[in-house]
Amino acid sequence: MDERSYIRDLAKKQAEIAALPVMKNRLKKWYALNDGKCDTPLVTVEFNGPEEEIFPPLKCESQLARGLERQIMRNIRNHELLNDDRVIPDYVSVGIPNRIVPFGIEIKQTHAQYSDGRRSMGYKLHYIIDDLQKDFGKLGKSQTHVDAGMKEAKARKAEIDEYLGGVLPAKILFSSFNVLIGNTFLKLMGMEYMLTALYDYPELFHKLMNTLADDYLGFMKEIEKSGAMIFGNEGGHLGQGTWCYTSDLPAAGKSAGEPATFADVWGYINSQETVGIGPEMFDEFFFTYMEKVTRNFGLLSYGCCEPVDGIWDRCLSRLANLRKLSFSAWCKEEELAEKIRGKKIVYHRKPSATFISVDAVFNEKAFAEHIAKSVKAAAGCPLEITFREELTVRGEPRRLTRAVEITREQIARHYRA
């Protein structure tokens, strides 16, 4: 197979989709939503299950071609199957390869395998700490890689531009900067020991948390100083199946030619691993250090699957730059919605995956009622609904299609701006 011709044909198809009038309309809606306006709720799907369930198998063999095929084919399939509110871009995105390895430790993983030898999603982490005092010396300085002057990103862009021959341009984007503090400790010692270590060695735990926060801040300063970033207000990924479009970045008064800083981008953070502790302990051992880092971002998106209603009053309400808040399937929706209403904070709802991924038969009536409850609760809030914990479609890809259609129907019936 002539991989280059095949990829260019796919690129032409993406370009045609990107040129559809609906994409310009969606783009306007994204800017309005992320600017904190209640104009139009948006619906997206981020399928994280086995690719073969909804995407065709890759045909290319070379690394460059496979990477382009995966990105372009996902854009095409997203439009043809899901037709959600994602803007299909008129470019191929290129990231900036900045990276931090907390405490210099690469945690090993062992993946389970299917009977045919393929790697499954399930995995086991190999923890290195089982006694924090005894193993404290194993933790060193965090290691970082910074793409100074974006040389690597620019070289990647040039390589893709040459490969695609002008059919679609490559574009360097700065996605959200992810801060994974709780997740770092989970990988080092496991959740059970992490929670008991708070009692056994509180001073050591505080020391590690402060060190990690300072390492993140040092990494961020290094990125700024090295020119390894750009403004993060366009189509970069914002974690949790959403996007960085906003008119509120870069920081006020910045012109296009000025160097970017972290005041010009989105940050993203969550703390699923700490749902087993109360608000006071979460504040003392985790949130204090999260806030130390996240106050530097222009805008912030918070949360994943954890219910955040219990930590709103004591912790999250203090985040002056919070713009997007995750309402997971375990969140007390009405109670939390009342607290964010009128604050320009996006009510980012993650519906239960049960209807699509667990139930043998997709119960559309029950699903519609589930969505209607969220839509009604979100009255007066900018609303975004993202399906992202659906790890299987049980052989029925159109479950996702119908989920989008039904959600739009419920928004049309029940949403009150």
> Could you read off the pLDDT of 260-316 as tens digits, one per residue?
999 999 999 999 999 999 999 999 999 999 999 999 999 999 999 999 999 999 999
- Residue 357: how many other CB atoms lie within 10 Å: 16
Q: What residues contact residue 10 under an 8 Å CB cut-off, 6+ apart?
A: 68, 69, 72, 73, 76
Sign of the dihedral through C-alpha 296, 233, 331, 124: negative
120 pLDDT more than 90: no
Contact predicate 268/301, CB 8 Å: yes
Q: Which residues pair with 346 in a beta bridge?
A: 324
At residue 112, the 3 state secondary structure works out as strand
Average pLDDT over the chain reads 96
Q: How far is CA 375 from CA 200, 303, 309, 348, 380, in A?
A: 44, 19, 17, 11, 10
Tokens standing for residue 26:
């969606």
255 pLDDT band, cuts 50/70/90, is: confident
118 pLDDT band, cuts 50/70/90, is: confident
pLDDT of residue 398: 97
Q: Which residues pair with 111 in a beta bridge?
A: 123
pLDDT of residue 272: 94
pTM for this model (two decimals):
0.96
How many domains does the chain contain in total? 1
Cα 244 from Cα 169, distance rounded (Å): 20
pLDDT of residue 1: 87
Q: What residues contact residue 182 under an 8 Å CB cut-off, 6+ apart?
A: 270, 271, 272, 273, 274, 286
pLDDT of residue 65: 98
pLDDT of residue 257: 82
User: Over the stretch 360-370, which tens digit does the pLDDT of each residue have?
Assistant: 999 999 999 99
Whichever domain contains 394, its CATH number is: 3.20.20.210
User: Over the stretch 186-244, which tens digit does the pLDDT of each residue have?
Assistant: 999 999 999 999 999 999 999 999 999 999 999 999 999 999 999 999 999 998 889 99
248 pLDDT band, cuts 50/70/90, is: very high
Cα 135 from Cα 118, distance rounded (Å): 35
Cα 50 from Cα 239, distance rounded (Å): 19
- Residue 6: how many other CB atoms lie within 10 Å: 15
User: Over the stretch 76-96, which tens digit does the pLDDT of each residue have?
Assistant: 999 999 999 999 999 999 999
Contact predicate 404/369, CB 8 Å: no
Domain range for 392 is 3-414
Q: How far is CA 206 from CA 132, 136, 214, 242, 285, in A?
A: 12, 13, 12, 32, 6
